Structure 1
Amino acid sequence: MNLLYWLDPWEFSPTVVIALLVPAILFVRGARKARLSFARRLSFWFGLIALYVVLHTRLDYFFEHEFFMHRLQHLVLHHLGPFFIALSYPGAALRAGIPLRWRQRFLRPALQTPLVRKVLDVVMHPVVAVTLFVGLIYFWLLSPIHFVAMLDWRLYRVMNWSMAIDGLLFWWLVLDPRPAPPARLSPGKRVLVVIAAIPPQIILGAFIFFTPHELYPIYSICGRAFTWLSPMRDQQIGGLLLWIPGSMMSVIGALIALRHWMRLSARGRLRTERRAQTPRGLTHAASQTTSGTSGQR
Structure 2
Amino acid sequence: MKSVSPRGCARGFAVGVLLAACVVDVLSAGSDGTSVLPTASPVWPTLGVLLVGLAAVLWPEGRRPDWLTPQVRTAVPALVSALYSVGSLVTLKANVFGPGEAVILLCLLFIAVRQCPPRAAWWCGALDVGALLLLPVRSLGPLDPAVLGFVVAGLVLIGLFAGLAVYLRTMDYRRTLAVSETRRAERVAIAADLHDFVAHHVTGILVQTQMARMMAQPQPQDLDPVLAGIERAATEALASMRRTVGVLRDTDEEAAERRPVGDLAGIADLTDGFASPVQQVTLRRDPAVSDDLPHEVQAAA
* Same structural fold, with TM-score higher than 0.5 when normalized by the shorter chain: no
Q: Please report the TM-score for the alignment, with normalisation by the length of structure 1.
A: 0.42
Higher helix proportion, which one?
A: 1
Q: 1 or 2 for the larger relative contact order (CA 8 Å, sep ≥6)?
A: 1
Task: Return the index of the structure with the highest Cα Rg.
Answer: 2
